[in-house]
């Protein structure tokens, strides 16, 4: 299900809010398998790690319809020059590692630093995902280590299995909830600021009108 080019943040198709989601992680951690399970409910055991694909998926999350515009990024070092563009465009990010691969866990921190550097802020919606939960006997990264890194990121954390569809939907749906929560907080803050400005203008007007004459 090859998607089309990403659109401007928040642009609606047929009245449905579109969320631009970017999947990040080292090559071979299962980013494409997670995406395919979420979008198509199928498990793809192998995907060329040098290929980037875009997908679309409509879902009802907490009673509201959302269309996820998902960019499944290449995880190979030679593609680093392309990263800044989609780092700027993404509204939310899934940072993935494999619980069977210590290096991929270490690389997850580098992706978070890259997001912070490109966006020049540290409150971008993120979900940390430890994939390949079904390969417990090959585990190299403990659950507690994943939780600890998520606390450093100040973000939700899931251990997933693309093969068994374990917490796949939860990861994507939670990211949309985090984006919505941030939007609501931003809207509330803007409303408060506008109310303060309006109140200040009224106060200034009253002082001018009722200023005692000397």
Asked if residue 173 belongs to a domain, the reply is: yes
Contact, 42 vs 25, CB < 8 A? no
CA dist 80 and 87 (Å) reads 11
Number of domains present in the structure of the chain:
1
pTM of the prediction?
0.79
Asked if residue 155 belongs to a domain, the reply is: yes
CATH of the domain at 28: 3.40.50.300
For the segment 43-96, what is each residue's pLDDT rounded down to a tens digit? 877 666 667 789 999 999 999 999 999 999 877 655 566 677 888 889 999 999
Tally Cβ neighbours within 10 Å of residue 31: 27
Q: What is the pLDDT of residue 84?
A: 78
Q: Which domain holds residue 142?
A: 12-209
Nearest to 83 by CA among 38, 22, 150: 22
Contact, 112 vs 118, CB < 8 A? no
Please compute the mean of the pLDDT values over residues 143-166 and round it to a whole number. Answer: 97
DSSP string, 92-131: EEEEEEETT-HHHHHHHHHHHHHHHHHHT-S---EEEEEE
């Amino acid at each position: 299900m090859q998607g089309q080019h990403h659109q401007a943040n928040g642009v609606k198709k047929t009245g449905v809010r579109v969320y631009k989601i970017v999947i990040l992680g080292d090559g071979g951690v299962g980013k494409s398998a997670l995406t395919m399970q979420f979008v198509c409910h199928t498990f793809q055991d192998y995907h060329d790690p040098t290929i980037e694909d875009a997908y679309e998926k409509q879902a009802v999350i907490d009673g509201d319809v959302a269309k996820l515009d998902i960019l499944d990024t290449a995880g190979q070092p030679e593609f680093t020059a392309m990263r800044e563009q989609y780092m700027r465009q993404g509204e939310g990010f899934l940072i993935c590692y494999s619980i069977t691969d210590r290096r991929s866990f270490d690389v997850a921190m580098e992706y978070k630093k890259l997001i912070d550097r490109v966006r020049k802020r540290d409150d971008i919606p993120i979900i940390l995902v430890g994939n390949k939960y079904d390969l417990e006997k090959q585990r190299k990264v403990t659950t507690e280590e994943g939780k600890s890194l998520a606390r450093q990121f100040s973000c939700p954390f899931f251990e997933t299995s693309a093969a068994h569809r374990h917490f796949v939907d939860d990861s994507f749906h939670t990211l949309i909830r985090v984006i919505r929560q941030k939007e609501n907080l931003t809207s509330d803050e803007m409303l408060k600021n506008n109310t303060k400005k309006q109140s200040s203008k009224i106060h200034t007007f009253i002082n001018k009108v009722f200023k005692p004459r000397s």
